[in-house]
Structure 1
């Protein structure tokens, strides 16, 4: 064991770990529930399929999240292997600190760290940092173990499907189109991303419909996109497998727009324009869906930039095996970069309108809040939707405590004023 070289003001190392305190505890896998504090990009290197590995830097603090419905005493341990030498670690929770000495071991062992007081319910953040190591690293940590009154059987954490668990929950607004609208030809929506919420990996999807979606993304620190996709009626994740008569056909695309095929989450036609949209500004989205002929539908998307003051065409696609108007209107917010699931984001969705095939405007003021499988199975509880200042909003990721009951009906106050759009001036369709 390494002797503790700490001052009287520093936490003392536990000398006699009591394994019995945690043997019946809950084993929380670091693979799905841990990140490197303030350095989420490092997480993919240090948090592997086998848990924490390659941990050599004292500045890298491993934070593990779990959700509890009870406060009180929490007993914490680690499942850890220190194959190259002894190490000393420090654990923090609610400004309570404990140090633990870990003896060299070629096999994983359960090590008791100590007792902590959980002051409030909701998400807990257990921080683990390296103090010293005789070997090559501080050790490999596969699980954080929790027991005690603050760790009831109802503790929530990511137990499996770690890829989706780390991405975080996706949240949706399913819009209720007024029955009197009839056949919907156009769907209009607006998105405002508050400053500080345009975090990497975000897809703020404005105009979703039964066969595709249209919105804005944050792809990297230097790239953002306006994205419009239409799914093929042929079910496959490989676009090359789609028969010719079931392929999405590009009818037209706007200036600077890339158009091609996509896969992995179904397949179809995809278009995007690189555009550095900004937080704090409100962007407009206009989607059109009309029968192209008796066996196909044409879907067209336009994007409004408030700085330029005009609409731009993104693309127009023809989808086979459909001949109808727009149906299944919705919006969503998702994170598509795995390790960015630790970052919170919020988007406002406002001023929803449809135009029917007779040219009549109808306002949408009601939506149903839903979420994906990650949320429904309680792997992650950091999801929320609601109405604020007359706008719908969606929020996800970042391990915040509030969450909205899935299936909640939301209503906003109607403005009664539809947007002014000069349809004759829209970039033309072929």
Structure 2
């Protein structure tokens, strides 16, 4: 999770290439400056290898697309326009040796451009028609080459009548990594009580097809940590529970002994360790092959231990059992608090998969106070991270679907929901049926 992007709220969250209408355009081999109505879209922050055959060598690095040798690889670049009309597309590219022909596709129109010369040059591709405002996807695919590589490409350029409104793409190098991951989005739940809260309860369903690799669907967030489920690879999924140290550092080795998160206990098969880079603290995860389309239950407890520390404990329940699974119980020093800041988020932590969409539904939220009362949650506020706020990329949204809240990000969809929007559902009526005294 992007810890720095939550500051002030919490601690501190098969592509088809069309062949029709193909045209061949001889490249402009001079390198004039772009005029004031043209825009450069850096490949490093806005492009993805959306088709990459096994063994293909293409790489998108911090400055360009490079090592481009495979004619079956498709490189997709995204930018957002607010107007319809003509968009004039170009490439800034270098061909290390020989001459290359590259196909450029938007929608069902393709144009070929010839590239040559080892100096980076602005090449004109041609004009395309944009019929709907929103994200534009520009696909590149190699057609032929006489040298070792098709080209190194640093930018896709665009102009024309479709570009005369508000355009959105990542133009800040400090955001390229985050923009390729995509904006994360959050729901902050409204807790209708001023009493101390000891438990958070939430149910999470990831719809079929929305469980992309790199996704984190965080169910029970709190001021000191977060608890949810991940898609770590094609073969591994995890239930993850982490608690931040009160010592602010990205390196767990720098945490003083009296500020380290202490393990109280953990469930069988749970891996225990530390994490860094986005704050630091104690981390626990359970490898579990959860499935899209199924509903999973998350229960979190947080109470002070009476000695200036607080115990946070997380349990997980899958639909194929009636027995709650202990993930871990952590003791956080320098802290005396009940649970505060109930929230959920959806994010992608794999920048190579940032062009793919993901979605989760959250429903039947409850809190239990320290005096034993279960209280239903029925309202939430939508928020986004700094990648969205800086208008580097805005494909993130939230809303309601029946009795559930939802969050969605990635995929370069065009629907927008204003950050700060308030959502509500009918309050759930059936409180969780949990015997808390028998939890592991």
TM-score normalized by the length of structure 1: 0.93
- What SS is found at the alignment partner of 1:374? helix
1:132 aligns with 2:144: yes
Q: Quote how far apart the aligned CAs of 1:196 are.
A: 0.7
> How far apart are the structure 2 equivalents of 1:367 and 1:110?
48
Structure 2 equivalent of residue 99 of structure 1: 112
Contact 2:92 2:121 in 1 (8 A): yes
Q: Quote how far apart the aligned CAs of 1:415 are.
A: 2.1
Correspondence list, 1:29-68, <5 A:
29-39=42-52, 45-68=58-81
Structure 2 equivalent of residue 154 of structure 1: 166
Correspondence list, 1:3-402, <5 A:
10-14=22-26, 22-24=34-36, 25-39=38-52, 45-103=58-116, 105-152=117-164, 154-160=166-172, 161-180=175-194, 182-402=195-415
> How far apart are the structure 2 equivalents of 1:237 and 1:41?
35
> How far apart are the structure 1 equivalents of 2:21 and 2:253?
65
- What SS is found at the alignment partner of 1:164? helix
Q: Quote how far apart the aligned CAs of 1:383 are.
A: 0.4
Contact 1:218 1:225 in 2 (8 A): yes
TM-score normalized by the length of structure 2: 0.91
- What SS is found at the alignment partner of 1:150? helix
> How far apart are the structure 2 equivalents of 1:175 and 1:40?
43
Contact 2:49 2:352 in 1 (8 A): no
Range moving further from structure 2, 207-216 or 111-120: 111-120
> How far apart are the structure 2 equivalents of 1:216 and 1:12?
48
Which ranges in structure 2 are unaligned for 5 or more consecutive residues? 1-18
**Cα distance change on mapping 1:34 and 1:388 into 2, 3 Å:** same
- What SS is found at the alignment partner of 1:100? strand
**Cα distance change on mapping 1:169 and 1:353 into 2, 3 Å:** same
Contact 2:29 2:121 in 1 (8 A): no
**Cα distance change on mapping 1:18 and 1:262 into 2, 3 Å:** closer
Larger radius of gyration: 1
Contact 1:30 1:52 in 2 (8 A): yes
Q: In angstroms, what is the RMSD of aligned CA positions?
A: 2.0
Structure 1 equivalent of residue 8 of structure 2: none
Contact 2:312 2:330 in 1 (8 A): yes
**Cα distance change on mapping 1:135 and 1:45 into 2, 3 Å:** closer
Contact 1:205 1:332 in 2 (8 A): yes
> How far apart are the structure 1 equivalents of 2:96 and 2:372?
72
Contact 1:40 1:340 in 2 (8 A): no
